[in-house]
Chain A
């Protein structure tokens, strides 16, 4: 079965700093990849997803992620974070043909004003 690793447990940045959150997955076949965000006290919302095509995916609120197949990675980036980006970010993967989605442990992002 597929699994997901998020190496950063808690990231603290100042506003306007650049962000990169790491995500690696383990699965040898074709995968669909997702980043979800959970704002404090709220439910998970989709930030962006990759199914096929251009490995650089753009999502909402200025986020993007790059799928590097050779590295089994799908890192999330944002050039300039805002205080309102403070949230928990989850990487997720499902194997193509399988609706069983696996989530990483999450990375808590704190942006200082």
Chain B
């Protein structure tokens, strides 16, 4: 398996623009997670899905952020409008998901810079 795939790897945009980050989880994994990593705040869980359904979005910073998972092999994280403080590395992870919790496998991340 190719592992978790994220695109783009790097994104530079201007404040106010819409940004869409994409993720393809490992095939057969039931859980998908979106994280944000910054120097100041470390690794933060934004939202996670189980079988394409959002389970917990309490980590989403504000209404400018939205995430969807239209099917088992694709998810998007959208920021509209983007702000300079959104600059970070955004990781997607997937997990087979057992009732007890399981290992998460991370993608390479998308480095977002908002000017």
Please give the residue numbers on chain A whose beta carbons come within 8 Å of chain B beta carbons, in ascending order. Answer: 32, 34, 36, 42-46, 49, 51, 90, 94-106
Contacts and interface: CB of A to CB of B under 8 A. Distances in A.
Contacts of B33: 101
A43 B101 contact: no
Interface size class of B (residues with CB under 8 A): 20 to 34
Nearest to A101: B104
Contact of A97 (B43, B95, B100, B105): B100
B106 interface: yes
Interface string B11-54: 00000000000000000000101000000001101001010000
Interface of B: 31, 33, 42-43, 45, 48, 50, 55-56, 91, 93, 95, 97, 99-109
B10 to A, nearest CB: 11
Given A105-B42, A106-B43, A99 B108 contact: no
B100 A32 contact: yes
Contacts of A43: 91, 106-109
A51 B100 contact: yes
